[in-house]
Amino acid sequence: MVRSIIVLVALGLFAVNATAETHNKARGEVGEVKVIASPDTPARETTVPQLRAIFAMRLHKWAGNLPVTVYVLSDYHPTHAAFSKTILNLFPYQMRRTWNRLVFSGTGQAPEEVLSEEEMVRKVASTPGAIGYIRRVKADDSVHVLKIHR
């Protein structure tokens, strides 16, 4: 009896997981988040702590003294949520709280928000020292994808 219940629960969990994955695919939310940088950015790889510092607006210059320009999507964009959670291990509201603290205290500024992943690629490609992230849009030769060491 107990074995039958365990099997039924396991099958139910499998079905729920498969349904959620199908639903996410239908919404276009499947895919690995890639961190992109402008072609003139000296970095070709980075670490999670470095990315946290960059997206918390604490790291202002790349090696070689090139200013860092950070682009992000809306707090409610699925790619922003995926980036925050899977790459930075933060919730979007935690990032927003950090940016608000900088802005309201007068000690810094929030990153520039873009409306779409296509605009993210265009802005990063055309801004020296820029960094951003994408998931659904394919990175082209105008930007390079940073390798992330965990």
* Residues 134/121, Cβ–Cβ less than 8 Å: yes
Would you state the CATH architecture of domain 31-149? Answer: 3-Layer(aba) Sandwich (3.40)
* Residues 69/130, Cβ–Cβ less than 8 Å: yes
- What's the CA gap between 7 and 65, in Å, rounded? 59
What ranges do the domains of the chain cover? 1-30, 31-149
- What's the CA gap between 99 and 55, in Å, rounded? 9
Residue 29: its pLDDT value, please? 43
Residue type, 134: I
Lookup: tokens for 41: 């950015």
Q: Left if phi > 0, otherwise alpha if psi is -120 to 50, otherwise beta: which for 10? A: alpha
Residue 74: its pLDDT value, please? 95
Residue 105: its pLDDT value, please? 95
Residue 25: its pLDDT value, please? 38
* pTM listed for this prediction: 0.78
Q: Average pLDDT of each block of 10 consecutive residues along the chain (150 residues)?
A: 52 45 39 92 93 96 93 96 95 95 94 96 96 89 91
